[in-house]
């Protein structure tokens, strides 16, 4: 039995879930991460689609919706990701883990670049166990090349899983991530200076 994770943008989630059902390989569960927002916020601005409303009532429990901004640091004045999103993600995955066969899980945030890859990395490490941190990161970057995982979520995962800093270390020492984070940080600073919302 293995963990089969797919990551996408919020705007792609409904179509991807529907496609997988048509292909007779449905996802067992979905983890949706949205910005702190109200019910009127559209998907294009960071709200997660409600699968139970769009696809069917069977998704009421199978979709976990978490609120979490993609804050790179407290200096931006944006609420930082809380440890509860890591706890809740692991609990949701454990709840829907099948007794046999691969566990197919879809994780998305607004852009599928920062928060959802970070949760995916933590879940991969949780199910694979100690000593797999580097392989988990390598696999994540292979199937989601644009990923720039949120550092705070990685830190929460490292602490919760008792990685003793190893998950943080492999994350911080990946050259492609270090350069990518610099570019995202500069872009975020520019957006916020112009009064725009963060994307992640």
CATH number of the domain at 134, please: 3.90.190.10
The 10s digit of each residue's pLDDT in 34-64 is: 988 777 787 877 889 999 999 988 898 999 9
Helices 84-96 and 115-128, axial angle in degrees (round to 10): 60
Q: Does 199 reside within a domain?
A: no
Number of domains present in the structure of the chain: 1
Helix (H) or strand (E) holding 121, with range, is helix 115-128
- In the block, which residue shows the tokens 């928060």? 115
Helix (H) or strand (E) holding 9, with range, is strand 3-9
Which tokens sit at 112?
Answer: 């599928």
- In the block, which residue shows the tokens 């792609």? 12
What pLDDT shows up at residue 2? 86
What pLDDT shows up at residue 65? 96
- The pTM for the full model equals 0.86
Q: Lowest mean pLDDT of 29-33, 40-44, 79-83, 169-173, name the range.
A: 40-44
Q: Does 198 reside within a domain?
A: no
**Phi/psi at 80 (5° precision):** -75, 155
Beta bridge partners of 9: 109
What pLDDT shows up at residue 199? 53
Q: Range of 146's domain? A: 3-193
Q: Does 200 reside within a domain?
A: no
Alpha carbon 57 to chain centroid, angstroms: 23
Q: Does 191 score more than 70 pLDDT? A: no
Question: CA-CA distance, 37 to 137, in Å (whole number)?
Answer: 30
């Amino acid at each position: 039995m293995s963990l089969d994770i797919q990551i996408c943008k919020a705007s792609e989630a409904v179509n991807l879930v529907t496609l997988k059902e048509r292909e007779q390989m449905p996802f067992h569960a979905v983890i949706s991460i949205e910005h702190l927002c109200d019910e009127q916020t559209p998907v294009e601005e960071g709200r997660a689609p409600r699968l139970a409303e769009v696809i069917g009532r069977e998704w009421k429990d199978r979709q976990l919706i978490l609120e979490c901004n993609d804050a790179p640091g407290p200096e931006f004045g944006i609420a930082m990701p809380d440890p509860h999103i890591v706890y809740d993600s692991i609990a949701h995955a454990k709840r829907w883990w099948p007794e046999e066969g691969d566990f197919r899980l879809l994780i998305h945030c607004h852009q599928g670049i920062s928060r959802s890859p970070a949760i995916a990395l933590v879940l991969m490490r949780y199910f694979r166990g100690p000593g797999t941190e580097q392989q988990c990161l390598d696999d994540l970057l292979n199937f989601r090349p644009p990923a720039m995982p949120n550092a705070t979520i990685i830190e929460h995962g490292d602490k919760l899983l008792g990685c003793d800093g190893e998950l943080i270390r492999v994350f911080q020492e990946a050259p492609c991530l270090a350069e990518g984070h610099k570019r995202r940080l500069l872009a975020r600073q520019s957006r916020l200076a112009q009064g725009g919302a963060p994307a992640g």
